[in-house]
Amino acid sequence: MTAQGHSELKFEIGHVLFIDIVRFSTLLINEQSEQLETLKKIVRGTEQFRAAEAEGKLLRLPTGDGGALVFRNSPEAPVLCALEIAKALKSHPKLHVRMGIHSGPVNEIADLNEQANIAGAGINIAQRVMDCGDSGHILISRHVAEDFEHYPRWQPYLHPLGDFEVKHGQVISVVNFYNDEIGNPAVPEKFTKTAIARTVPSAIKKRRTYSMAAMALGALIILGGAGLFLVTKTVHMAGAGAPASSISEKSIAVLPFQNLSDDKSNAYFTDGIQDEILTRLSKIAALKVISRTSTQKYKSEPDNLREVGQELGVANLLEGSVQKIANAVHVNVQLIRAATD
């Protein structure tokens, strides 16, 4: 299927730095104004901000107690910007800031006031990563860390924290980014209280029973409804060969999607599609969704689906491929029952 005639959406991968002032609501009005103004000056004074803005590769989203910067030039840009901000904050001990970083799909939209705005999983996940931190923390998603861990320069900064359940039962994997001079080495308070195992907990509220095909493909239809993709499906469902009783029928793992694009840099775009689907599926309360971290070692179209399903503890697998050619996107998705292939 091909996405055509929707060029106005400008859907792409953004490298997002989300920033906010900790305990902003407890400040007096004049203190809020002063701290916001100080933070704005610090952010605008960074080399990464100025360079990206000069190239037309920067989008800004104010959030009241901070803001989000969407860099479109380099996945390193938000990290380098965060380091510059953290260094500058040492001269402002009363300004307590936390930051979150993620690379994922974003698109420019118009809000109810016809003002330019930004939306997408890239923004949402960056905010949720940031929300896991305390004052001084620079937290990055595991998705970003997986790219950075191949470079000796960044390896000493990466300190995995594990998985954390956020809104709507979604699970994100978070890495603390710090060294001896920059960042906060302490484990975030939220992780010490409610850190969870690598998979979504089984105690989920019961709702109406939906077919697995409707749930998974319904998430994709939401994307298509936004004008991004027209999705075709191939669904294999069988009555025989039910999975072991210990595996919930309402469980699914989204395997890494294949990047079929000639430009291998579009791997970010492919990963963004997987992240977007995971985000949508995680909002279904009756569905157990395995985290992205747990599925990363598996390729799409694995040799033995039954073994993969048993290892991940799921009855169903979603696999697929993404090919981006100019302004066209081709997405192929298959929902497969692991026990019967």
Q: Residue 204 falls within a domain, yes or no?
A: no
> What does the alpha-carbon distance between residue 76 and residue 48 come to, in Å, rounded to a whole number?
10
Nearest CA among 334, 79, 51, 61 for reference residue 216: 334
Pick the range with the lowest mean pLDDT from 126-130, 173-177, 317-321.
Answer: 317-321
* Domain extent for 163: 10-194
Taking only the tens place, the pLDDT of each residue in 301-333 is: 667 888 888 888 888 888 888 877 766 777 888
Q: Residue 54 falls within a domain, yes or no?
A: yes
Pick the range with the lowest mean pLDDT from 2-6, 235-239, 297-301.
Answer: 235-239
Q: Residue 157 falls within a domain, yes or no?
A: yes
What integer pLDDT is reported at residue 283 of this predicted model?
A: 72
pLDDT above 90 covers a percentage of the chain that reads: 33
In sign, the C-alpha dihedral spanning 242, 197, 142, 50 is positive
Summarize the confidence of residues 190-219 as an average pLDDT.
Answer: 43
Summarize the confidence of residues 13-33 as an average pLDDT.
Answer: 91
Indicate which CATH number applies to the domain containing 254. Answer: 3.40.50
What integer pLDDT is reported at residue 327 of this predicted model?
A: 63
Q: Residue 326 falls within a domain, yes or no?
A: yes
Same domain membership, residue 127 and residue 66: yes
Structurally, the chain folds into a number of domains equal to: 2
Same domain membership, residue 221 and residue 142: no
What integer pLDDT is reported at residue 235 of this predicted model?
A: 36
Higher pLDDT, 246 or 221: 246
Q: Residue 24 falls within a domain, yes or no?
A: yes
Mean pLDDT value across the chain = 77
Q: Residue 120 falls within a domain, yes or no?
A: yes
